[in-house]
Structure 1
Amino acid sequence: MEQSKEINRDRSGDLVRIPSRALYTAQQRIKRDESVWTLVQGVLAPIQFLVFLVSLGLVLRYLATGEGQNIAVWSIVIKTITLYTIMITGCIWEKVVFDCYLFAPAFYWEDVFSMLVLALHTAYLVALGTEALTTQQLMYLALAAYATYVINAGQFIWKLRIARLDHARQQATVAANEAVA
Structure 2
Amino acid sequence: MYTPEQLERRNRSPWTKAQFILAPIQFIVFIISFALVIRYLATGEGYWVATVSVWIKIALIWALTITGMLWEHDIYGKYFMAREFFWEDLGNLIAILTHNAYFVAVWLHLDSRTIMWVMVFAYVTYLFNAGQFLWRGIRSAKERRLLQAQLQAQSAGMAKPS
Q: TM-score range by the shorter chain?
A: over 0.9
Report what 1:122 is aligned to.
100
SS of the aligned residue for 2:143 comes to: helix
* Structure 1 residue 84: Cα displacement: 0.6
- Relative to its length, the structure with more strand (as a share) is 1
Rounded to whole Å, the distance in 2 between the matches of 1:173 and 1:97 is 24
Q: What's the offset of the Cα at 1:115?
A: 1.0
143, 146, 152: which one aligns with 1:169: 146
For normalisation by structure 1, the TM-score amounts to 0.84
**Aligned equivalents of 1:76, 1:152: Cα separation in 2:** 17
Aligned residues with identical type, % of pairs: 40
Mapped to 2, the partners of 1:129 and 1:46 lie a distance apart of: 30
**Aligned partner (choices 92, 105, 111) of residue 83 of structure 2:** 105
Q: Is the 8 A contact 1:103 1:112 kept in 2?
A: yes
Q: Deviation per CA, 1:34-78, whole angstroms, max 9, x where unpaired?
A: 111111111000111111111011001111111101111221111
Structure 1 residue runs of 4+, over 4 Å off?
none
Q: Considering fraction of residues, name the structure with more helix.
A: 2
1:132-152 Cα distance to aligned partner (Å, 9 max, x none):
x21111111101100010110
Query: After the TM superposition, which residues 45-64 of structure 1 pair with which residues of structure 2 at under 5 Å, given as runs?
Result: 45-64=23-42
Question: Which structure has the larger Rg?
Answer: 1
What does the per-residue CA deviation read over 1:124-178, in whole Å, with 9 as the maximum and x for residues that have no partner?
A: 12212331x2111111110110001011011111111111100100111121222
Aligned mates of 2:114, 2:142 — CA distance in 1: 42
Question: Which sections of structure 1, spanning at least 5 residues, go unmatched?
Answer: 1-22
Of residues 81, 86, 111, the one that matches 1:134 is 111
Counterpart residue type for residue 56 of structure 2: I
TM-score (norm 2): 0.93
Q: Distance in 1 between matches of 2:88 and 2:142?
A: 19
The alignment's C-alpha RMSD in Å is 1.1
Quote the Cα distance in structure 1 between the aligned partners of 2:65 and 2:140. Answer: 21
Query: Equivalents in 1 of 2:12, 2:2: separation in Å?
Result: 14
